[in-house]
Structure 1
Amino acid sequence: MYNGAILIGAGETRAADTFTAVNPTTGAAGDVAFSNAGPAEVAKATALAAAAFEVFSTTSLDARATFIETVADNILALKDDLVATANAETALPLARLQGETGRTVGQLKMFAAEVRAGLWLDATIDPAMPDRAPLPRADLRRVNVALGPVAVFGASNFPLAFSVAGGDTAAAFAAGCPVVVKGHAAHPGTGELVARAIQQAVASCGLPEGVFSYLPGTSNELGGALVSDPVIKAVGFTGSRGGGLALMKIAAQRAEPIPVYAEMSSINPVVLLPGALAARADAMGPAFVGSLTMGAGQFCTNPGLVIAIDGPDLDTFVASAAKALTAAQPAVMLTPGIHASFERGVEELASHAAVITVARGCVGDGVNQAVGALFTTDATKFTADEALSHEVFGSSSILVRCKDIAEIKTVIAKLEGQLTATIQSGDGDEAAAGELLPVLQSKVGRILFNGWPTGVEVSHAMVHGGPFPATSDGRSTSVGTLAMARFLRPVCYQDTPDTLLPPALQAANPWGIARRTNGVLELGK
């Protein structure tokens, strides 16, 4: 169970300053006092992380993969307690949390398998060419190495899959980086349960205790101290644009600036092309609303913008969506603060002179409940006011009516970077879709056809990232095995004795990994 402690390495400590979890369904405070970590705890945790780095970053592929699998197994053993605790702290449905537990365990095991495969090392060998004219070539060997200790910030909307042992932590461990987690105050009991599972895995696998520490807390000072600590070499963050920008500023002002991989803001445009509307406008309405209201709209891939050519078929879609939304039941949001922010955002849109309210969802009798909202405007008005394209975190969306494909392209071109874009297409839409793809590709990290953006598959090919401000670095992803690249850097060894080379580059290839020699890929064992 959890007791509100701060976990630093193998030990635990407490602070006089405490906070409690809040049950968003009732608004009631929990019974456990959780310690607020501060700069002193940050310094202790990062010192242990620095001491652990050399050993952890040079573990064998099998040892590191076994550790990650042990974390997964420990979490799975806690499944019932985890789901019950997370449900009380976040109001997320039990089925959703059971699925998220499975996703968390699954992605850890996927990273373990990726570690063993060794492809991420990108081992590359250009053997010496002593007889080359006019100049000989030295022996050159390159491999990816761990960046250093990483700070990870737990997310509010995914208490498991994007939190203490979520994708950022899994990717950092896989890369060989010790991790210091700043636990999210919205689900501290859940966070501590997972943190203890990791702590136990570190011990049972015989790793240095500084491989992992967990610092719960509510203050911005804690996050600032963690990012500014000179031991930390990179940051993983999922949250608000304001929070991400603040951390980026701190990281940039350090004596040694470091990368902040922040996922921050996205409205995920959905384009309804004429052929799709002609064929299935009525059916797309409820499907869209289902995506919009799923989880109270608290997904970073929520469809916050719909773009289409005006006409009778679009009217059919709007009527169908309005009917579905009017019947949609409200859902409790993660925290009172998130609910208050959602209400402000919806009110600002409802009172905007350029916006018409299409429909609202059912109003419930509980607290912190998100009532879905759908608005509409035209392309001219939308592109004239940047505020209309700002994210409202929750089940709120704007439909933009356009004259033609050219105007759709204009609307997309005015957007900021996004995580996803969706094209609903049908017969006769291929040319229009082909025209839109280049501009969409410049704006997003993932393009979907004939689906809805909510839901992210954890796989090798997935990209969950996008141009700013969707993420702070559009070249990266926070989901999928490519996420490891954020916490790696290449090192080249020149004319280095074989016995001193990392195993991945030694002549005997003791790890049996695939390597590229003289530009030719050679498969391992």
Structure 2
Amino acid sequence: MLSGKHLIAGQWVAASNTFHSATVNNTDAEFSVGRVEDVNAAVEAAEAAFDVFGYSSRATRAGFLNQIADEIDALGDEITAVGCAETGLPEARLIGERGRTTGQLRLFAQHILAGDYLDRRYDEALPDRTPLPRPDLRMMQRPIGPVAVFGASNFPLAFSTAGGDTAAALAAGCPVVVKGHSAHPGTGELVAQAIDKAIKICGVPAGVFSLIQGGDRKVGSALVQHPLIKAVGFTGSLGGGRALFDLCAARPEPIPFFGELGSVNPMFVLPNKLDQDTEALASGWAQSLTMGAGQFCTNPGIAIVLEGEGCETFIEKASAALTQVQEQAMLTHGIADAYREGVAVFDQSGAQSVLRTKDAQGRQALPNLYRVAAREWLDKPSLHHEVFGPLGLVVVAESIEQMMALARQLEGQLTCTLHLSEADYDSARGLLPILERKAGRVLANAFPTGVEVCDTMVHGGPYPASTNFGATSVGTLSIRRFLRPVCYQNIPAQILPADLVG
């Protein structure tokens, strides 16, 4: 059952002001609007909890993460039903995303038990060294303190209440305050119920987790500016993320803002591969482009193709495949409106419309396809930005050299893709060094939608894909965002952290 309340340090708290959660089946519910006083209470409880949780054993934290996963699974059918109603996403997608969410919680439990993330180092004392002796020096990674996490609109589970940011922070030993997304507050509350139950079963401090629902932008500003918050995890729009990033930087004590903000995820289709697999490439791109109504941060919005007969066939086949795609519900009315506005920008840009569907009503969306010459694309920054939804752009290049020039002009991306055959390797050798400077993940002969949760994954990239090019929001490496190295010099073994002794 949903209460419509915030969870603050083990207490379900209501506010007098409420907002409506708009569902696709018209079963709207009311949820409490977050307040600044809720932020203060949650963060202060998180700081108090850090004194215990931040110094708890890895086994304790691993058990807690596994228990959260078990409790989410126990609420699985209810989470799926509410998530589908709020987001319009299909049942199979919600079930799969729940599996990813619990899977990454369990992966972090395994990761911290192994201990490699601690990066322990030891330089033995050299008392007889001349001209100066060397002290006993030990180093390892330590948790930074309370972390703020912002739920994402397009992933109500895997990037939200108990998503990757929360899992990584808790694994590190950092209490978490989540600012829920108003697109799926019921889903967020159900997951918070699961975390609350795990807290009680495992006996960890109640302040280790709080959920404050949205409804007021002051909540987000107050959260990132609270002096006890030590880092922020965010997935969302460039405008909203940049505003919060600036607030973090302007604090008396600036803190890191780990924001994933947007990407067009360009694909470079090299000529020999295009000639070999034209139809498969076109249909695969159309499928990736429209998956989840195009509401994936790794949606491949741009395909760069050499002019010629293969290019024309590729565009024709992609358009035909997109024509078969039915209307899909977008996550919110606001996102659907923004998609239509993005299509209007393309209409006015001078890009040639290949497939211009009618503007669907309400939360529904249909795919659109455009083409433009590479030289025109280079001169039109309005075509460089992400349109969140099923919109594709084919950029037609005159030569491999022009492809490389276009690659150099790209802003930071989450992904860049090379579609190539062995006969394209010489061209790819010139492109790859450029693309690895532009993206956190470079793919060959695949589509970037679908992000593996594992040790090697990098889900981040140079700005504006993310605000910290050295970090990832997916995979076990993401725990490093919430740790810092501490060196212990001549500290007696009897008082060192247990993980550093031996």
TM-score under structure 1 normalisation? Answer: 0.94
Q: In the alignment, is the contact (CA less than 8 A) between 1:164 and 1:191 conserved in 2?
A: yes
Q: In the alignment, is the contact (CA less than 8 A) between 1:360 and 1:374 conserved in 2?
A: yes
Provide the rounded CA distance (Å) in 2 between the counterparts of 1:193 and 1:223. Answer: 21
Report deviation, 1:369. Answer: 1.1
Q: Does 1:105 pair with 2:102?
A: yes
Provide the rounded CA distance (Å) in 2 between the counterparts of 1:84 and 1:95. Answer: 11
The alignment partner of 1:428 has SS state of helix
Provide the rounded CA distance (Å) in 2 between the counterparts of 1:200 and 1:62. Answer: 18
1:151 maps to: 148
Q: Does 1:289 pair with 2:286?
A: yes
Q: In the alignment, is the contact (CA less than 8 A) between 1:329 and 1:363 conserved in 2?
A: no
Structure 2 residue corresponding to 1:202, chosen from 175, 178, 199? 199
Q: In the alignment, is the contact (CA less than 8 A) between 1:328 and 1:362 conserved in 2?
A: no
Provide the rounded CA distance (Å) in 1 between the counterparts of 2:393 and 2:400. Answer: 18
Report deviation, 1:351. Answer: 2.4
Provide the rounded CA distance (Å) in 2 between the counterparts of 1:112 and 1:360. Answer: 48
Q: Does 1:9 pair with 2:9?
A: yes
1:396 maps to: 391
Provide the rounded CA distance (Å) in 2 between the counterparts of 1:499 and 1:360. Answer: 71
Report deviation, 1:202. Answer: 1.2
Structure 2 residue corresponding to 1:427, chosen from 422, 431, 439? 422
Matched ranges for 1:88-99 at <5 A: 88-99=85-96
Provide the rounded CA distance (Å) in 2 between the counterparts of 1:505 and 1:81. Answer: 43
Q: In the alignment, is the contact (CA less than 8 A) between 2:306 and 2:400 conserved in 1?
A: yes
Q: In the alignment, is the contact (CA less than 8 A) between 1:467 and 1:474 conserved in 2?
A: yes
Q: Does 1:19 pair with 2:9?
A: no
Query: Which runs of 4 or more aligned residues in structure 1 lie more than 4 Å from their structure 2 counterparts after TM superposition?
Result: 361-364
Report deviation, 1:65. Answer: 0.2
CA RMSD, Structure 1 to Structure 2 (Å): 1.1
1:491 maps to: 486
Q: Does 1:436 pair with 2:445?
A: no
1:358 maps to: 354
The alignment partner of 2:21 has SS state of coil
Structure 1 residue corresponding to 2:190, chosen from 189, 193, 213? 193
Q: 1:441 is matched by which residue type in structure 2?
A: E
2:117 maps to: 120
Report deviation, 1:377. Answer: 0.4
User: Alpha-carbon deviations, 1:143-202, whole Å to 9, x = none?
Assistant: 100011000000000000000000000000011000000000000100000011111111
Provide the rounded CA distance (Å) in 2 between the counterparts of 1:29 and 1:367. Answer: 16
Report deviation, 1:284. Answer: 1.2
Provide the rounded CA distance (Å) in 1 between the counterparts of 2:92 and 2:373. Answer: 39
Provide the rounded CA distance (Å) in 1 between the counterparts of 2:484 and 2:478. Answer: 13
Matched ranges for 1:223-302 at <5 A: 223-302=220-299
Q: 2:401 is matched by which residue type in structure 1?
A: A
Q: In the alignment, is the contact (CA less than 8 A) between 1:330 and 1:362 conserved in 2?
A: no
Provide the rounded CA distance (Å) in 1 between the counterparts of 2:446 and 2:32. Answer: 43
Report deviation, 1:360. Answer: 3.7
Q: 1:5 is matched by which residue type in structure 2?
A: K
The alignment partner of 2:422 has SS state of coil
Q: 1:7 is matched by which residue type in structure 2?
A: L
2:466 maps to: 471
Q: Does 1:327 pair with 2:324?
A: yes
User: Alpha-carbon deviations, 1:341-397, whole Å to 9, x = none?
Assistant: 0000011102222x0011145876x63111101111011110111111011000112
Provide the rounded CA distance (Å) in 2 between the counterparts of 1:144 and 1:151. Answer: 20
Provide the rounded CA distance (Å) in 2 between the counterparts of 1:173 and 1:56. Answer: 9
Provide the rounded CA distance (Å) in 2 between the counterparts of 1:108 and 1:304. Answer: 30
Provide the rounded CA distance (Å) in 2 between the counterparts of 1:330 and 1:463. Answer: 32
Q: In the alignment, is the contact (CA less than 8 A) between 1:120 and 1:144 conserved in 2?
A: yes
Report deviation, 1:134. Answer: 2.2
Report deviation, 1:476. Answer: 0.2
The alignment partner of 1:207 has SS state of coil
Provide the rounded CA distance (Å) in 2 between the counterparts of 1:117 and 1:54. Answer: 23
Q: 1:19 is matched by which residue type in structure 2?
A: F
Q: 2:186 is matched by which residue type in structure 1?
A: G
Structure 1 alignment gaps of length 5 or more: 510-525
2:382 maps to: 387
The alignment partner of 2:423 has SS state of coil
Provide the rounded CA distance (Å) in 1 between the counterparts of 2:127 and 2:98. Answer: 56
Provide the rounded CA distance (Å) in 2 between the counterparts of 1:177 and 1:221. Answer: 24
Q: In the alignment, is the contact (CA less than 8 A) between 2:306 and 2:399 conserved in 1?
A: yes
Report deviation, 1:504. Answer: 1.8
Q: In the alignment, is the contact (CA less than 8 A) between 2:441 and 2:458 conserved in 1?
A: yes
2:499 maps to: 504
Provide the rounded CA distance (Å) in 1 between the counterparts of 2:36 and 2:57. Answer: 33
Provide the rounded CA distance (Å) in 1 between the counterparts of 2:191 and 2:66. Answer: 14
The alignment partner of 1:429 has SS state of helix
Provide the rounded CA distance (Å) in 2 between the counterparts of 1:312 and 1:480. Answer: 41
Provide the rounded CA distance (Å) in 2 between the counterparts of 1:495 and 1:414. Answer: 51
Percent identity (aligned): 49
Report deviation, 1:249. Answer: 1.1
Q: In the alignment, is the contact (CA less than 8 A) between 1:101 and 1:161 conserved in 2?
A: yes
Q: Does 1:58 pair with 2:45?
A: no
Report deviation, 1:29. Answer: 6.0
Report deviation, 1:8. Answer: 0.4
Provide the rounded CA distance (Å) in 1 between the counterparts of 2:435 and 2:242. Answer: 24
2:448 maps to: 453
Question: Alignment length, in residue pairs?
Answer: 502
Provide the rounded CA distance (Å) in 2 between the counterparts of 1:476 and 1:361. Answer: 38
Provide the rounded CA distance (Å) in 1 between the counterparts of 2:323 and 2:194. Answer: 43
Q: Does 1:70 pair with 2:67?
A: yes
Q: 2:148 is matched by which residue type in structure 1?
A: A
Provide the rounded CA distance (Å) in 2 between the counterparts of 1:370 and 1:38. Answer: 34
Q: In the alignment, is the contact (CA less than 8 A) between 1:125 and 1:505 conserved in 2?
A: no
Q: In the alignment, is the contact (CA less than 8 A) between 1:422 and 1:453 conserved in 2?
A: yes
The alignment partner of 1:351 has SS state of helix
The alignment partner of 2:105 has SS state of helix
Q: In the alignment, is the contact (CA less than 8 A) between 1:330 and 1:363 conserved in 2?
A: no
Q: 2:195 is matched by which residue type in structure 1?
A: I
Q: Does 1:166 pair with 2:163?
A: yes
Q: Does 1:416 pair with 2:397?
A: no
Bigger drift between 294-303 and 392-401 goes to 392-401
Q: 2:11 is matched by which residue type in structure 1?
A: G
Q: 1:279 is matched by which residue type in structure 2?
A: Q
